[in-house]
Amino acid sequence: MKIIPRSCPGCELRVGRLLTDFNNWKRSIKNYINYTEEVNVIIKFIDREKSLGRVVYEKGEIEIDPRFTLLQLRNTLVHELIHYEQYREKRLEIKNDEWFWKGKKYDNTLVYEEYTNLPWEIEARKRSKKIIDKLFKIY
């Protein structure tokens, strides 16, 4: 996995710290999240309301918006890696703009607050908190 920073005036320090953190975690994080080395993390501005990051599944990329705090960037990286794992393991599937979790179809026209209560979001939030807590006890 590579982290690729794009132009980010004013957030170079946070992005640099995130790169350092990730290099420190790289071996340990594989104990918690099943991802492949092919995934790239692109640090770039995301023009999406309330979105700190997202997975672009068809490209095998994770995008993270650098305008947030270092803690939010760390959490977002782990959270999005979990979504990448969910997708790779086919627990989360997106077919023709329809969302499926473990074979069950979910509404994809939800507002943000409803979206955060979908099962894959709940799992990603719970797991990312536990993983971040463990990683920072290690380092």
Low-confidence ranges of the chain (pLDDT < 50): none
pTM of the complete model: 0.87
Digit-coded pLDDT (tens) for 11-45: 788 888 888 888 888 778 888 998 877 888 898 88
Q: How many domains does the chain have?
A: 1
- Which of 94-132 are b and which e, b meaning 16 or more Cβ less than 10 Å from the residue's Cβ? eeeeebebeeeeeeeeeeeeebeebebbebbeebbeebb
> What percent of the chain is predicted at pLDDT more than 70?
96
Question: By residue range, what is the domain housing residue 107?
Answer: 2-138
Q: Give me the pLDDT at residue 89, please.
A: 95
Q: Give me the pLDDT at residue 47, please.
A: 79
